[in-house]
Amino acid sequence: MAQKELNIRNKKARFEYHLEDVFNAGIQLSGTEIKSIRNGKASILEAYCVYSNSEVWIRNMHITEYENGSFYNHKPRADRKLLLNRKEIDKIEKFLKIKGNTLIPLKLFLSEKGWVKVEIACAIGKKLHDKRQDLKEKDDKREMDRALKR
Q: How far apart are CA 120 and CA 118, in angstroms?
A: 6
**12 lies in some domain:** yes
**3 lies in some domain:** no
Give the bridge partners for 121, in sequence order. Answer: 22, 104
pLDDT in tens, 34-76: 888 888 888 999 999 999 999 999 999 998 888 777 777 777 8
Give φ, ψ of 102 to 5 degrees.
-145, 170
**64 lies in some domain:** yes
Q: Which domain holds residue 32?
A: 8-149
How many Cβ atoms sit within 10 Å of the Cβ of residue 28? 12
The pLDDT of residue 31 is above 90: no
Predicted local confidence at residue 122, as pLDDT: 93
83 φ/ψ sector (left φ>0, alpha ψ -120 to 50, else beta)? beta
Domain count, the chain: 1
- The residues, ordered by sequence, that sit 6+ positions from 82 with a Cβ below 8 Å of its Cβ are 25, 26, 27, 28, 49, 55, 56, 57, 58, 118, 120
% of residues, the chain, pLDDT over 90: 47
Q: How far apart are CA 15 and CA 53, in angstroms?
A: 31
Q: CATH number, domain at 123? A: 2.40.280.10
**135 lies in some domain:** yes
**140 lies in some domain:** yes
SS3 84: coil
Predicted local confidence at residue 139, as pLDDT: 92
Give pTM, 2 decimals: 0.79
pLDDT in tens, 94-147: 999 988 899 999 999 988 888 999 999 999 988 888 888 888 998 999 999 999
